[in-house]
Structure 1
Amino acid sequence: MSTQLLISTSCWTDNIDAVPECDNDQRNALSRKALAKKAEEELRETENVRTECLRQLKVWIQQNQDVENCITDDNFLLRFLRVKKFSIPMAQQTLLKYLNFRKRFDHIFRNLTLNDDKVNELLTNGYIFVSPVRDSQGRRVILYDLSKFDPKRYTGTDMARAHAITYETLLTEEENQILGVVHVADIGAINASFVTLFTVTEFGTLIKWGEQSFPMRHKEIHLINMPQALRYVYDFARSNITQKLKERISVHDGKSTASQSIELEALPAEFGGHVPAKDMITWWTRQVDAKAKRILATDDIRLLSDAGIIRSKTARRDAENMIGSFRKLEVD
């Protein structure tokens, strides 16, 4: 596990090439001990629990005839254990759902690289990117600017692929698996043409399955400048997510009001911060490109059957209770 975690913005310089060095500056880093404490407090993660749960999950994968060529290194498997606070049965279900999600939307997840011209454009023009400056709690902040998305040029698939490559890249860092992410989106440019990007069924499935299947901890979601005319789209999206996630969404009338609850230091100058968006974008595209091989490796995983996925809430609850969800797992 990486021992470094940027929690301060004081080391930012105007030279974008200095950002990677800034990330490794121990003067602004959360120690490994502090990060481990956070993982234990929020995720029930200890060295013994981590070791035993990884062992059990790997054995289950090896014996599962429905899954083929699954990545079994610790970094990949820990994202499923951490998002479910080391409940073995819940982590297993999330892994199966993640693979089923990728299978159902193969056109979105396969061959995710910056070699895809549309994805490259959406990341480099600033539709979606990640700040190189973590917030005060050490979390990565994902920025969205809907004014940079032209529905006449890009499709819903292009949009979803830009999101997918961003999220997959973030999950390669264990700090993000532990601490989660913050979303900040300026959606003022959304108009009626955006509604045609997805069918109602596809949009609803992406939202619902995305929350249930993608092993990411969404800590805060800030929506800025929501057009009242499209409030029904927001209401529909909310109807497809859990109450827990609903409570983490904040809607702001404008950037001035948003600044009261969003840490400006982690935002680009265009959002009220200090660092130009173009510098953040340059930094982020480098991170995405550096993780390309890792992300492409997920294309080799196959879900041969979805029979193991528990769809009934009652059956899922009974299964979790029966196994005890391993939340009090202790290893001698």
Structure 2
Amino acid sequence: MSSTEVILPARQWEDDNGNRTEKEQDTHISQNLATVASKELRENDTVRKQCLALLREWIKQNPDIENCITDDVFLLKFLRVKKFSITMAQQTLLKYLNYRKKFRNIMYNLDHTHPNVNELITSGYVFVSPFRDSNGRRVIIYDFNKFDLDKFTGQDMAKAHAVTYETLMEDEENQILGVNHVADLGAVSPSFVTLFSVTEFAYLIRWGEQSYPMRHKEMNLFNLPGPIKYIYDFAKSNIKSEKLKNRFTIHDSRDQLLAKVPKRCLPKEFGGELPAKEMIEMWKEELAGKRERLLSFDAMNLVSDRGIIRSKNAPTQDDTGTGSLPGSFRKLELD
């Protein structure tokens, strides 16, 4: 990828309702993206077509999956995050559908116009920079100074995150290149632990890590208060993937952050160039374009979780950097 940060162009192949058109199904990724996909994900035209066909047939034959979206972009999320291992992609899809079902209050009705979610985005608690970093990755901005504990709940927080992540993963570039997280933790206090029970917090992190088809390439944190380091340590201890753990960086100063993340990608309030307010307005346009798509996910259902391989029976080796322990799923016979 070029080292130049590029502002994102608007997508041109959605209808008035935000639904994907046939044109997108025929659109090929750029040569630069294809090179990265081949090197990091073992992807090429033949592998992509064969794996998509196999995954669609498996979904069709699986009685535990209802109304699953089967277009290229949705299925490629699971294939890419597991480097086109059919067995691992199947397991991640099952876990994703189960995660949505278990945390229905968070994962259903992913509507950015919901009053509390919209306020968290508009205030600047969580949004996405319009500029990609030097590796072509989208940069997700978190500012905990904007989270009012007296007004918002843990559900509000988690839903705002889910809307952000699902919107990003509808873009094939983000599926391939992954994302860069940048968080100002300066306002985090011990009171934040009241947002979730210990068990719920651990499940959200652990299950989310294993279930969500997203490549977390960098986690850049700054202004971490000493008194709440135990929260950070607890959260990190619930991440199983050592590769993912190693992608966390705590910066002691804003200068250290700017040495790692291009200034242009950051809001002015983080030492960047463009005010957060302007970045947020651009991000809200992207959210609006994907709103109906995200709401359509609610039709999907996992009837039973019997097909999910539990950790105790799964192999321990996983080089994908997402932390899933996929196991060996019993294969359905294909005609």
Q: What TM-score, normalized by structure 1, do the two folds share?
A: 0.87
After superposition, where does 1:170-185 map in structure 2 within 5 Å?
Answer: 170-185=168-183
* Counterparts of 2:206 and 2:43, CA distance in 1: 27
Q: Compared with structure 1, are the counterparts of its residues 231 and 68 closer, same or farther at alpha carbon in structure 2 (3 Å cutoff)?
A: same
1:153 alignment counterpart:
151
| 3-state secondary structure, aligned to 1:53 | helix
1:250 alignment counterpart:
249
After superposition, where does 1:9-20 map in structure 2 within 5 Å?
Answer: 9=5, 20=9
Aligned-partner residue type, residue 151 of structure 2: R
| 3-state secondary structure, aligned to 2:131 | coil
Deviation at 1:316, TM superposition (A): 4.6
Partner residue of 1:42 out of 30, 33, 40: 40
Deviation at 1:313, TM superposition (A): 4.4
Partner residue of 2:53 out of 49, 52, 55: 55
* Counterparts of 1:202 and 1:232, CA distance in 2: 17
Deviation at 1:109, TM superposition (A): 1.1
Report if aligned partners of 2:313, 2:327 keep a CA contact under 8 Å in 1: no
* Count of aligned pairs between the two proteins: 306
Q: Compared with structure 1, are the counterparts of its residues 6 and 127 closer, same or farther at alpha carbon in structure 2 (3 Å cutoff)?
A: farther
Q: Compared with structure 1, are the counterparts of its residues 148 and 63 closer, same or farther at alpha carbon in structure 2 (3 Å cutoff)?
A: same
After superposition, where does 1:1-332 map in structure 2 within 5 Å?
Answer: 8-9=4-5, 20=9, 32-241=30-239, 242-316=241-315
Q: Compared with structure 1, are the counterparts of its residues 299 and 233 closer, same or farther at alpha carbon in structure 2 (3 Å cutoff)?
A: same
| 3-state secondary structure, aligned to 1:114 | coil
Report if aligned partners of 1:188, 1:226 keep a CA contact under 8 Å in 2: yes
* Counterparts of 2:275 and 2:4, CA distance in 1: 17
| 3-state secondary structure, aligned to 1:232 | helix
* Counterparts of 2:327 and 2:104, CA distance in 1: 33
Find runs of 4+ consecutive structure 1 residues off by over 2 angstroms.
5-9, 19-23, 312-323
* Counterparts of 2:85 and 2:11, CA distance in 1: 35
Q: Compared with structure 1, are the counterparts of its residues 317 and 145 closer, same or farther at alpha carbon in structure 2 (3 Å cutoff)?
A: closer
Aligned-partner residue type, residue 259 of structure 2: Q
| 3-state secondary structure, aligned to 1:49 | helix
Report if aligned partners of 1:6, 1:133 keep a CA contact under 8 Å in 2: no
Aligned-partner residue type, residue 267 of structure 1: L
Q: Compared with structure 1, are the counterparts of its residues 51 and 314 closer, same or farther at alpha carbon in structure 2 (3 Å cutoff)?
A: same
* Counterparts of 1:115 and 1:181, CA distance in 2: 24
Deviation at 1:244, TM superposition (A): 1.2
Aligned-partner residue type, residue 102 of structure 1: R
Aligned-partner residue type, residue 226 of structure 2: Q
* Counterparts of 1:140 and 1:250, CA distance in 2: 17
Report if aligned partners of 1:219, 1:248 keep a CA contact under 8 Å in 2: yes
Two-structure CA RMSD over aligned residues (Å): 2.3
| 3-state secondary structure, aligned to 1:143 | strand
Deviation at 1:45, TM superposition (A): 0.2
Describe the superposition over 1:30-67 as per-residue Cα deviations: whole angstroms up to 9, x where unpaired: x8111101100000000000000000000000000000
Q: Which runs of 5+ in 1 are unaligned?
A: 13-18, 24-30, 326-332
| 3-state secondary structure, aligned to 1:132 | strand
Give percent identity, aligned residues only: 56
Deviation at 1:176, TM superposition (A): 0.2
* Counterparts of 1:277 and 1:266, CA distance in 2: 11
Q: Compared with structure 1, are the counterparts of its residues 6 and 142 closer, same or farther at alpha carbon in structure 2 (3 Å cutoff)?
A: farther
Describe the superposition over 1:222-249 as per-residue Cα deviations: whole angstroms up to 9, x where unpaired: 1111111011111110111021111000
* Counterparts of 2:61 and 2:188, CA distance in 1: 47
Aligned-partner residue type, residue 8 of structure 1: T
Report if aligned partners of 2:309, 2:326 keep a CA contact under 8 Å in 1: no
Aligned-partner residue type, residue 119 of structure 1: V
Aligned-partner residue type, residue 214 of structure 2: M
* Counterparts of 2:137 and 2:257, CA distance in 1: 18
Deviation at 1:276, TM superposition (A): 1.1
Aligned-partner residue type, residue 308 of structure 1: G
* Counterparts of 1:22 and 1:220, CA distance in 2: 25
| 3-state secondary structure, aligned to 1:133 | strand
Q: Compared with structure 1, are the counterparts of its residues 250 and 322 closer, same or farther at alpha carbon in structure 2 (3 Å cutoff)?
A: closer
* Counterparts of 2:287 and 2:4, CA distance in 1: 22
Describe the superposition over 1:246-272 as per-residue Cα deviations: whole angstroms up to 9, x where unpaired: 100000122122222222121111111
Q: What TM-score, normalized by structure 2, do the two folds share?
A: 0.87
